[in-house]
Structure 1
Amino acid sequence: MRGAFKFVLSLGRKRLNKVMLYDWLIAPFADYEFMRRALVGSCALACAGAPLGVFLLLRRMALSGDALAHAILPGAALGYLVAGLSLPAMTLGGVLAGFAVALGSGAVARATALREEASLAAFYLVSLALGVTLVSVRGSNVDLLHVLFGSVLALDDSTLILLASIASVTLVGLAAIYRPLVLETLDPGFLNSVSRVGAAIQSAFLMLVALNLVAGFHALGTLLSVGMMMLPAISARLWTHNMSGMIALAGLFGLIGAYAGLLASYFLGLPSGPLIILACGALYVLSLVVGPAGGVMRKFTPRAHLEG
């Protein structure tokens, strides 16, 4: 009798644990459509943006992504002035502005004594000020907050289709230029000695970055969109030196950050976009401590003789 009671009690505990896990981890997405939309949009951003972030990191262009994120603001603001909060108008304006800055900064770097990061910084500062001014001409403070911080919980079907399309184009484009991009990232001198595609690869890569920042703009705003791109990539760098492994880990960290951030937003009642980026930041802190390829704990663990 006593054994049967223990058996029933253990079954009850397992049942209770399953119910609690469902309520905490699945129910918010199963019960609310806006949560599912936010998760799908965030996952699209993570799958496409995080691999690009790996290349930005390895090319020492981590802050260039932030500059490009702000560079799309004037184009999106012009689209807003023409058509209001119209998805096609703001997307087209942001894409054109991002492409113009990506190509213009490269042209300035090749034609003058300025390095590319310096020209991007100049474009970034002017673009941010111009974009905020243009939005303020017609919009309210609410519109300005929407542009700067996004609204991931308000994604509709057309926006999700746009995010999925940009993610698909990015992954296909990245696959097409992967080999020369890796070579141009790790040994640009050798690529220039055997081919003249270096400048074209650089331009194509920056266009993909700008395209993803435009996608991120609709969900996370111009101030936070680059976080989904860079934080998972930086975290992955602390776990492995292998390029393929780094790209896969960056995408995985981005997915985990999106999922955890949305759950935290749901239960805490706080803005989703910032919490998604904070979740990615928490993964970065964890990687900073225990990452086997560069974390703090690596210095205190025994290594084989002559191991770097």
Structure 2
Amino acid sequence: MSEVLAWPATFVVAPFIEFGFMRRALIGCMALALGGGPVGVFLLLRRMSLIGDALSHAVLPGAAIGFLIAGLSLPAMSAGGLVAGLLTAALAGIVTRHSVLREDASFAAFYLISLALGVLLVSTRGSNVDLMHVLFGSVLAVDDAALLLVAAIATVTLLAVAAIYRPLVVESFDPDFLAAMGERGAVYHLALVGLVVLNLVAGFLALGTLMAVGLMMLPAAAARLWGRQVWSMAAIASAIGCVSGAAGLLVSYHADLPSGPSIILTAGAFYVISLVFGPNGGVLSRRPALRHRVA
């Protein structure tokens, strides 16, 4: 009986006890979830989910330039990705203000340009292995320096969200009311975009540019179906992100699968479960209302 009870614990705990790279990957995923969860919720509430995806690709050219200058150097690639992401956000804002294009269209255009330019830059000097590393990352290869950077970004994100929480919430639901109070909503909008870029740079280091947004938006989308207040959705999103990271790492370890896709697919599984069973707008929760409407 004791052996039967001990087997699940061994299955779950042993990889993280035995291997340092698994522990670092777990801590990195948790840091990404803690910082990305609240940011993803605000993007979801403001209907900017796809803008997060666009910005995740916008960091690629800067990271590629950092790679060309210094190779797989953490400071160079991080700084390049941060500058490129902020520059893309600024350019998209300028285009939106001075043309007929909406913000989502501007981000979509810059996203395609950034992705193609980044892949071209890496391909000119790097190998296919380097390109795959930049695009898809390797959470199992996260070293102490990258872990410290990811943790620092998560800390800055949580402190910043706490500092501007109320205006962000008001601006997400009623920007006209915020303007009537004398607050400049554009400042908080830009602050949120900056936090998005910061967290995408952190996610890029572990999951690569193509999957960095996954651990930000999938838990947020799932949390929307469970929570009713913004703070509860943010907490649920971070919790789902943490569990998805741990479960995805275990799946990749025991099934010998790539870690990044395993983590994102695990988060996707939580989203599908929430879509069906979520009490705040899930499929099953809406069936009585639909039957009442038909009757």
1:262 aligns with 2:246: no
In structure 1, the partner of 2:91 is: 104
C-alpha distance in 1, partners of 2:211/2:260? 7
Once residues 101 and 177 of structure 1 are traced to their aligned partners in structure 2, the CA distance between those partners, rounded to angstroms, is 23
Q: Aligned AA for 2:160?
A: G
Structure 2: which amino acid aligns with 1:290? F
Q: In structure 1, what is the equivalent of residue 178 of structure 2?
A: 191
Shift of 1:301: 4.6
- Are 2:35 and 1:48 aligned? yes
1:246 is aligned to 233
Alignment of 1:32-71 (within 5 A): 32-71=19-58
Q: How far did residue 302 of structure 1 move?
A: 7.6
Unaligned runs of 5+ in 1: 1-12
1:117 aligns with 2:107: no
Q: Encode CA deviations 1:16-39: one digit per residue, 9 max, x unaligned.
A: 133202211100101111100100
Normalised to the residue count of structure 2, the TM-score between the two structures is 0.96
Partner residue of 1:142 out of 123, 129, 133: 129
Q: Report the equivalent of 1:26.
A: 13
Pairs within 5 Å for 1:215-230: 215-230=202-217
The residue that corresponds to 2:265 in the other structure is 278
Unaligned residue ranges in structure 2 (runs of 5+): none
Letter in 1 for 2:25: A
Distance 2:88 2:152 in 1: 22
Amino acid at match of 1:176: A
The residue identity in structure 2 corresponding to 1:277 is I
Residue 161 (structure 1) aligned with residue 148 (structure 2):
yes
Rg (Cα) greater in structure: 1
The TM-score normalised by the length of structure 1 is: 0.92
The one-letter code of the counterpart of 2:272 is: V
Residue in 2 that maps onto 1:9: none
The one-letter code of the counterpart of 2:89 is A
The separation in 2 between residues aligned to 1:130 and 1:26, in whole angstroms, is 42
AA in 2 matched with 1:45? L
Q: Output one character per residue of 1:192-246: Cα deviation in whole Å (capped at 9) or x when no partner.
A: 2222421111111100000100000010000001000000000001112211111
Aligned residue identity for 1:267: H
| TM-superposition CA deviations, 1:40-78 (whole Å, max 9, x none) | 001000000011000000100010000000000000000
CA RMSD of aligned residues (A): 1.4
Q: Identity across aligned pairs (percent)?
A: 59
Partner of 2:115: 128
Tell me which residue corresponds to 1:174: 161
